[in-house]
Structure formats: structure tokens, C-alpha cells
Structure 1
Amino acid sequence: MLSNPLARAPRWAGALVLLVAGALQTLTLSPWQWWWLGPVSIALIIAVTLFQSPRQLFVSGWLTGLGLFASGVTWIYISISEHGNTSIPVAVVLMALFVAGLGLVHGIAFWCWGKLAKESTVRRLILFPAVWVLTDWIRGWLLTGFPWLYLGTAHVDGPLAGWAPLAGVHGVTLIVTGTGAALYAIYGLARSRRNTATGILAACTLALWLAGPALNRVPWTQVSDEPLTFATMQGNIPQQIKWDPDFLRDQLVVYLGLTEEDWDRDIILWPETAIPITQDEAGPIIEHIRSKLGDDSVLISGIPWYTYSADREGYTYHNSILAIGDRGDGVYHKQKLVPFGEYVPLEQWLRGIIGFFDLPMSSFSPGPKYQEPLAAGEARLMPAICYEVAYPDFVAMNARRGNLLVTISNDGWFGDSIGPHQHLQMARMRALETSRYMLRGTNNGVTAVIDEKGQVSGRIPQFERELLRGELHTASGNTPFMLTGSWPVLTLVAILIVFVRERVIPKNR
């Protein structure tokens, strides 16, 4: 049996290590990007939990989740308190409930880990990465999903980046968590002087990491030699006046002024709801934009959309993005809505209780599942609005129908927090997974252009009213991840769980 360096530690010390280990995972992500802390965090979690009972594991998983989410989603407090018109005590309570609820997902997962592996050390070490990845995936769709703070996302700047176009962010996470489990096993085997096993395990783990840089040089798609010119505008409109009718004209004047010298660009991008009135009210401004555009230019802007829905037998609002211009065509309605920000669950009971449940434009409906890309000349831009860019399989599936990615957002909800930096990093991972350029337009940052390797080639600093000009390229072909999504990784995880659980590996190993 492998030795456990924390076996004799006091219970409070183990709890503290779990909280810290969870928080270390936040440091792997932007703005810190200390990706190497990922395996360290996993090794620490295993050192505390490897020999615990399922009941103890439930508490340990919950503490790990608390450390992760309390440190990683602090920006939610800003959304609730500063922009949700909610008092500080109520905002603190809501934030605590949110973090505690997310932590329960890890608590249940750790309990299942103990039940599946029983007392076998080998089973527990093999199954931990599988259970962790499965938990991430479930968290990404449960109750509309919260696909945030995935360990694999950190490696858009790390040595495992080359695995992303093959296996997606969950595949990278599987390697990171597997490495953490291997580090613990290597430590125990080395102390037991089992040199052959130590060497084999270390070599296999190292091979996965060395393969990453080599895979990152593979051209999974064919990037066009002909560049497209673009200009994207960051208006830095204060969130407090965003939906105030008295400031409607001022907001439009800002974006028209920023665009004044760039009407002839191939693609002009305004951010989410840059036109803050519905399309049936915005006819004059849309026609004005059309009259200013060059013959080969297309302007793409976020705009609320009011339309009749046959499915709902009534009129609905959508958070949408519209292409304007003689060579532009299409409208896209956001599918992945943010709970409480764009719709209110249990609306009939929650509306009116506190200001947070009555935010402006919080009655959107999701758009249809399959939508065509926006046309901009020969380019086919597949959009993702704000939160949607966090969903790896969703973006990969949609990217098959386009040759360029575009995402718009209003990260003013996050304030001066780590939220916008995490959001940009997830957008970069989507570009890497699909090997496609991505143009990102935001209200107050971070506006950027991202190349097919997930690297930022141009950006506007946060909280500045500015524009970004440059060139980007379309791409043809699909990465393996675009063709399969996360299913190969999830299938591997399922095989591990089915064949490595209690009855397969002897109990006393």
C-alpha cells in the first residue's frame, strides 16, 4: 500500500489543505496562468482523501469545491451587488449559497468515487481522474450548466495545448488530473523502492506532456492566405446607463463615432447589445449604418430581437447578433442563456423579491438549436454570444458550419474582477479546439483577435473607449475535436469506471 504523508495530520489541517488545493486551481487560470499548479492541486487532494470513507469523501469533495468556487467566481458578487441593486448582506448570502451549491457537486462526486473504488488504493488512483472529468462534464449541462474553471483551460498557455484540437478541454483536464494522481503514485512507489514501476509510470506521464508541443505544430485546418480586414469597437458604456432610454442616443453616437474611419473594412464588429433597442425599433439606425458601409463591408452588432415564435405561440425576446451590409446576411439568436441575467428560473415566485431578480432584459428566450452562420462576403462567421463561448462542445459543433468564429459580450457585469480574464481565456481555448480565428468584441474589455492556435494577436485594454484594427483569416477543414466532441474522452472515462471499479482489481492492492 502507498504511504500517505497526510495520514496523521489533524482533521482541521486536512480541511485546510483541501480548501487551499481548490483555490490553487483558480491560480492556474487567467490572470495568473500558473498552469503547473494543476497537477500539484490534484496530488494534494489525493494525499488528503485517498484513504477516506465515502462519508468523509463527501465532506472533502465539498471543501475542495468551496476552495475552487469561492476563489474562482468572485465576480458573481459584483453582478449581484453592484449591478443587481441588491444590498450587501443579501448579496453575500446569495453568493455563499451559490458557492456552497456548486461545492455539493464535488461532494457527491467524491462520495461516488469512494463507493466505486472501495478500499483499493490502485482503483482510487485510476478512477479519480475519470470521476473528476465526468463531474466537470455534468456541471457543464446540469441546470443549464456552469462550464467555468476547467483545469484544462489553463493549457491554452501550457505545454498540453496541442491536445486541445484532438480531445478538447476535457481531454486536457483528464491528462492534468491523471498527472496529479501519477505524481502521488510515483512518490509512494519511490518510497517503497519499487523502481521499475516508478520508472514506467513516470515515463508514460512524461510522454503525454512531451507530445503536447509536438501536436501543437500540426496544422489541423487550412488557413486562408487571403486576409480579411476588420475593426472592432469597445464603447466602454457604463452598465448603469446601458438600458436607460435617456442615454440611447449617446450610446449609438459613441459607436458611430468609433467607426467613422473604418466603414470600408471587410468586417466591423460592435459588442453585445451595442444597439440597445429591438430590431423593430432600430430600423432608422440600421438603415443609416447600411448607407455608411462600403460596398464590400459588413457590420455585425449585438441587438435585442422581438419576434413571433410559433413554438411558444406568442412574441418573444432574444439576445441576438445581426449582420448588416450588401454582402452581409443573417441573424443569430443566443441559445445558452445566463440564469437570472437573461432569464429567471421559477419566475412566477422570484420576480419582485429583490432587485437582482428584476434586472433589465432578463426575459429573453433561447434561440433555435440549429442556426446558420452569419455571412460576410465569402466568410461564414459562427457566433457565440457572451456565456456561450464557455461551452466546448456547443462551439465545436457550430464551428463545423463556419470558417471564422466571432463572439460578443458585455463583461461590464463583471466589473474590475478576474471574470473578464477568465472569459477571454475560455474564448482562446475554443479557438484552439477548432483551429479557427476568433474575433471578440466586448463593451469594456477584453476586446481581442485570437489566432487559430488560441494566441491573442491584438487586444484593447479594459475600461478604455477604443477600437482595434487588423487582419484575420478564414479556415477550412475540421479538427478531430470538432468531429467527435467530448465523446471519446467521456467514453474512456466510462470504460475506466465500469472496468476498474471494485470487482475488477483485487481489493487489497
Structure 2
Amino acid sequence: MPDRPRALPALVHNLALILAGAAQTLSFSPFYLWPLGLVSLLAVLHLTKRTASEKLFRDGWLVGLGLFGSGTSWVYVSIHDYGMTSVPVAAALTLVFVAGLALFPALGFWLWGKLTSSAATRLWLFPAVWVLTDWVRGFLFTGFPWLYLGTSQVDGPLAPWAPVIGVHGVTLLLAASATLLYGAFVAYRQRSGSKEPAVLLCLAVLPWLTAWPLGSLNWTEREPRPISFAAMQGNIPQQIKWEPAHLRDQLVQYLTMTEGYWDRDLILWPETAIPVPSPDAGPIVDRIEEKAAEHGTTLLTGIPWFGYSEELQRETFHNSMTVIGDGDGFYHKQKLVPFGEYVPLEVWLRGLIGFFDLPMSSFSPGPAEQALLSIGGRSVNAFICYEIAYPDFVAAGSRGTDYLVTVSNDAWFGNSIAPLQHLQLARMRALETSRFVLRGTNNGVTALIDEHGQVLQSAPRFEVAVLSGELYPVKGATPFMRWQSWPVLVLLGLILGAAKWLKRKSRTG
């Protein structure tokens, strides 16, 4: 590795890495400054150029601290405002959360150092390590598939690549572009007089140039007859949502909002809009069934399900959605939110602080194999809350669907950037699957997203509102729906394998 004659002072170096990570947050919603994602990667490459391999773990952790400290600080709102937790404890838990997430890039950078055999190897290995870190973070410990840099391209020039290679593939293209640009800069600084800088520069812009013709391809085909819908946004305050004294008022509010919209093909209520377990919800469900049968429509709503689980061999709660009226089906949420819907290490943590004893935090995950919902003769896949953030989960489950529905209750995050980031994730899933996505939420953002990932309609946040319009069923499948992230993962494996081989060869040769 090169020596460090011009290394930055340690404090400046560390702060610069944190700022480089934080810059990525500005590439996402609600800021949409997607070029900063590329700038961030270039800065990381430059700052780590002279870092000794054994210290890359530290550098990766600092980058992660900046990224997650700025991009997921909204978890404080959930812990403090709605988790009945004091300011010092909420701040401490938020710091632990951010520091824990930062371990993912730290471990990725540690691997980066372990596989590096030369300055050139370190450079071209960077994109593979970055994307591998993202992928591992998406499934380990239930996964946290948030802030993937490729998501920032939903409004960027690389968006047409998403239906082909998915968000991890788009992230790989971004990281590869940054690496090639930095390589061109290094080669130019060496003043070798070769064509290497020009070649690297051309390779860096190639994905961006080829994205334009990809954008003209239609992976799915709209059907001519639209489906009319009305999505109810009740804006129920989180503080009263599970209070028995307010349950009747909530149900009356949703029924009142729905009056005048029973002629729609689909009526959507958000996550746990019926805030009572399914066995106790008979009267309200019966009333909805009568109205739906009278008008030949379908109502899809979130509801806690309680009953005997054949899979778990016991009675359990599920966070679920049910079809009422013209259709059939129950969907039980599979990807549960830690602490919000279940408590890890429950035996030790329950009762310590209010955050570990939130209402309805004893859900069990639904079975992996569940039938698609039938709504008005259409096959629909439903996703609850942050399930829509999982790219491969959504793509694999959306085969044979006509459109997608996702419901959420983002009131947990108050007036933070989390709900807007959440909406952007839903937009990326629409882009990857080339399907309309109808998103219903308690207090925003309720929205209709087209098959190109663009928001066609949305309801204002923090208001009682009804979003009414039309969506189109589509037929066909994108390459990403067929293959998910496997082509990208195979490529990563080949790159890492080649790096390991070169490392071994350098030691023996």
C-alpha cells in the first residue's frame, strides 16, 4: 500500500468520513439530491486511499455512523414520543441503534482490507464490498433494507436499470461508476500519458448512457380497463389508537369516510384500521360485508388476526389484512418490526422501559407461503408497513399479480423524514416490478404510484383525507421479478473470489 506522507490529521479524517456518509442521506427523499450519492462514494474512496487495511473497519464504521446517524435518526421519535421513554434513554437507544447499523459497513470494510492485495485491487473491489454489505444488512437479524443508494435513482438517470437488475444492481452501477471515475482521476494525476484515464472515464459513463434506451422498453402491459379505488387516510393519533375508549370512534370515522365511495371497485383502509382482534371484530366486519355486497365492491383493511396457528401449533396474533366483499383472502405479515411488533430477548427486556412494552408488540410472523389476495377477480399481493422495503421479497411475491397494495401506519415517526423515505421505497418496488402500487396509510403518505415509480396522486400528510382515482392492472414480468438479485450476487461472488485468489497468489508468488 502507498505510504501516508499527506495523510489528514486523524480528527479531520474521521469527521470527513462521517460527513461523507451523511451526504448520502441527502440523495434520498425528501431531498432528492441524487448526485450526492456519487459524490459521497468518491469521497469515501479518496479518504480511505491511504488507510492501512487493518484500520478499514474503523473507517467503515465512521461512514456508517454518518449515514445512519443522519438517515435513521427518526427512530428517536418512535422511542421517545410514542415509546414513553425519557430523553436520555431515548437518545442512548437511538445511538445504540445507529452504532449497531454502522457495524455493517464496518465489517464490509474489514473484509475489503482482508481481500486487498494491492492499491489497484482495493479500488476495483470497492463496489462489490459496498453492495454485499447492503445485501447482508437486508436479511440478517430480520433485515433493515433502508437507505440502499440505488433507491436514490428512482428519479435519477439510472432508474431504467431497476426493472432489470433491481436496487442492488443499481447500487452496484453507482459504486462502479464512482470507482472508475476515481480510477481515472488517479491515472490522470500520475501523468503517465496513457489512454487509461479516457478508457476508465468512458466505462464510468457507460451505464448512464445505456440507461436511456432501456427506458424505452415496456416490461409489462397495461390492461385497458382501469380499477377505481378510494383509500381512506384516517389520521388517527398514535396515542389513542389502541385505547379502548377510542375504538368505536375510530371505526365510525372510517365508515363515515367511506360513505359516498361504495361504488368504487376497491376501498382501502390502512394498517390496523380495525384496531381490535379479528374474533372481536365480527359486528364491524358484518356491516362492511353488507355494504360491500349491496354495491358489489371490495374493502381491504388492516386488522390484527388472532387464532390457532397450524404452523406454530399455538394460538397467536398476526398483523394482517383481510378482504371483505367481492373477493377473498387473509394476508399475515411476514417481516416484523423489532420492538414495534415483537420484542427480541423478550424474557429479559419486557417491562424494563415503556418502549419494550408497546401495544400490539407480540405479533408472530406469518407463514412464508401465502396465497395471493383475490379482489374483484384480480390477483393482488399485499405488503404491510416496511415489508415494501425488501426488494427480493416483493419481486418474488409479485409474480402473477395484477397490481400491488401496501398499507402502513407511519404515525410512529411523527413529522420526520421516515414516511417520505418509506414512500420512496414503495416507488422503487413499483419500478422494479413495473406494477401500480396503491399505498394506504394512517396519516400519510397515502399515494398511487404508477409502473414507472412515479407518484400520480397523493393525500396531504397529517390530514383526514380520501384519495380517489383509478389504477391499471398490468400483465407480464420484469427481468428482476424472474431473477431477483441472484445475477448481482453471483457477480459479487466472482469478484470476491477473484480478489481472494489474487491475495493468495501475491503471498505465494
* TM-score range normalised by the length of the shorter chain: over 0.9
Q: What is the identity, as a one-letter code, of the residue corresponding to 1:383?
A: A
User: Equivalent residue for 2:174?
Assistant: 176
1:351 CA displacement: 0.4
Cα deviation, residue 82, structure 1: 0.6
Greater Cα offset, 406-415 or 288-297: 288-297
**Letter paired with 1:187:** F
Distance in 2 of aligned mates of 1:183 and 1:234: 46
1:446 aligned partner: 445
Normalised by the length of structure 1, the TM-score is: 0.97
2:308 alignment counterpart: 308
- Quote the residue 2:48 is aligned against: 49
The 8 Å contact of residues 115 and 503 in structure 2, kept in 1 or not, is answered as no
**TM-superposed deviation, 1:439:** 0.2
**In structure 2, what is the equivalent of residue 351 of structure 1?**
350
Contact 1:113 1:124 in 2 (8 A): yes
Matching of residues 23-34 of structure 1 within 5 Å: 23-34=22-33
CA shift, 1:458, in A, is 0.2
Partner residue in 2 for 1:411: 410
The answer to whether the aligner puts 1:318 opposite 2:297 as a matched pair is no
Counterpart of 1:191? 189
For structure 2, the residue ranges without an aligned partner over 5 or more in a row are none
**In the alignment, which residue of structure 2 is the partner of 1:398?**
397
Contact 1:123 1:505 in 2 (8 A): no
User: Is residue 2:136 matched to residue 1:152?
Assistant: no
**Counterpart of 2:257?**
258
Look up the equivalent residue of 1:309 and give its one-letter code: S
Q: In the TM superposition, what is the alpha-carbon distance from 1:8 to its structure 2 partner?
A: 2.8
Q: Which whole-Å CA distance do the structure 2 matches of 1:276 and 1:491 have between them?
A: 44
In structure 1, the residue matched to 2:421 is: 422
**Pairwise mapping of residues 324-403 of structure 1 onto structure 2 (< 5 A)?**
324-325=324-325, 327-403=326-402
CA distances 1:436-463 after superposition (whole Å, capped 9, x unpaired): 0000000000000000000000000110
Q: Secondary structure at the match of 1:467?
A: strand
**Partner SS, residue 416 of structure 1:** coil
Whichever residue aligns with residue 188 of structure 2, its letter is A
Q: Which runs of 4+ in 1 moved over 4 A?
A: 1-4, 504-508
The percent identity for this pair of structures is 55
The answer on whether the counterparts of 1:117 and 1:502 sit within 8 Å (CA) in structure 2 is no
* 1:279-315 deviation digits (Å, cap 9, x = unpaired): 1111111111111225431000000000101232211
Cα deviation digits, residues 77-101 of structure 1 (max 9, x gap): 0000010011111111111111111
SS in 1 for 2:394: helix
- SS of match in other structure, 2:461: coil
Shift of 1:470: 0.5
Kept in 2, the 8 Å contact 1:165–1:479? The answer is yes
Equivalent residues of 2:24, 2:37 under 8 A apart:
yes
Q: Give a deviation string over 1:172-210, Cα, whole Å, max 9, x none.
A: 000111111122111111222344111111112211011
2:199 is aligned to: 200
**In structure 1, distance between residues paired with 2:178 and 2:505:** 23
Q: Matched residues in 2 for 1:218 and 1:243: separation?
A: 47
Partner-residue secondary structure (3-state), 1:280? helix
Residue type matched to 2:140 in 1?
A: L
Structure 2 distance, partners of 1:127, 1:186, is 16
Distance 1:282 1:452, change over 3 A: same
Q: 1:306 to 1:248 in 2, by over 3 A?
A: same
1:168 to partner: Cα distance: 0.4
Q: CA deviation at 1:343?
A: 0.3
* Partner residue, 1:161: 159
Kindly provide the CA deviation profile for residues 115-145 of structure 1, in whole angstroms up to 9, marking residues without a partner as x. Answer: 1013x11111111100010000000011111
Cα distance in 1, alignment partners of residues 121 and 226 from structure 2: 52
Amino acid at match of 1:345: P
Do the aligned residues in 1 keep the contact of 2:48 with 2:59 (CA within 8 Å)?
Answer: yes
Unpaired runs of 5+ in structure 1?
none
CA distance in 1, matches of 2:7, 2:401: 56
Looking at structure 1, the residues matched to 296 and 493 of structure 2 have their Cα atoms a distance apart, in angstroms, of 50
- 1:210-267 deviations in whole A, cap 9, x for unaligned? 1223212210011111101000010000000000010011101111111101011001
Contact 2:413 2:419 in 1 (8 A): yes
SS at match of 2:443: coil
SS at match of 2:172: helix
Match status 1:274 vs 2:273: yes
Q: Tell me the distance in 1 between the aligned counterparts of 2:23 and 2:453.
A: 23
Amino acid in the other structure paired with 1:313: Q
Residue identity matched to 1:43: L
Return the offset for 1:370. Answer: 1.2
Does 204-213 or 355-364 show the bigger shift?
Answer: 204-213
User: Pick from 134, 137, 140: which aligns with 1:139?
Assistant: 137
| Contact 2:56–2:110 (Cα < 8 Å) also in 1 | yes
More off after superposition, 211-220 vs 224-233: 211-220
DSSP-derived class of the 2:7 partner: coil
Contact 1:123–1:501 under 8 Å retained in 2 = no
Matched residue type, 1:27: L
Higher deviation after alignment, 235-244 or 302-311: 302-311
Letter matched to residue 165 of structure 1 = P
Closer, same or farther: CA 242–188 of 1 in aligned 2, 3 Å: same
| Cα distance in 2, alignment partners of residues 460 and 373 from structure 1 | 27
**2:428 aligned with 1:436:** no
Counterpart-to-counterpart distance in 2, 1:503 and 1:397: 36
Q: Cα distance, 1:380 vs. partner? A: 1.2
Cα distance in 2 between the residues matched to 1:33 and 1:375: 36
User: For residues 183 and 15 of structure 1, what CA distance do their matches in structure 2 show?
Assistant: 23
Q: Distance in 1 between matches of 2:257 and 2:488?
A: 45
Report the AA paired with residue 393 of structure 2: F
Secondary structure of the residue that 2:451 maps to in structure 1? coil
CA displacement 1:461-485 (0-9 Å, x = unmatched):
1101010111001111110000111
- The CA RMSD measured in Å over matched residues stands at 1.6
Report SS of the residue matched to 1:503. helix
Q: Distance in 2 between matches of 1:46 and 1:491?
A: 24
Query: What CA distance in whole angstroms lies between the structure 1 residues aligned with 2:440 and 2:162?
Result: 24
CA separation of 1:24/1:288 partners in 2, compared to 1, >3 Å: closer, same or farther?
same
How far apart are residue 71 of structure 1 and its match? Answer: 0.2
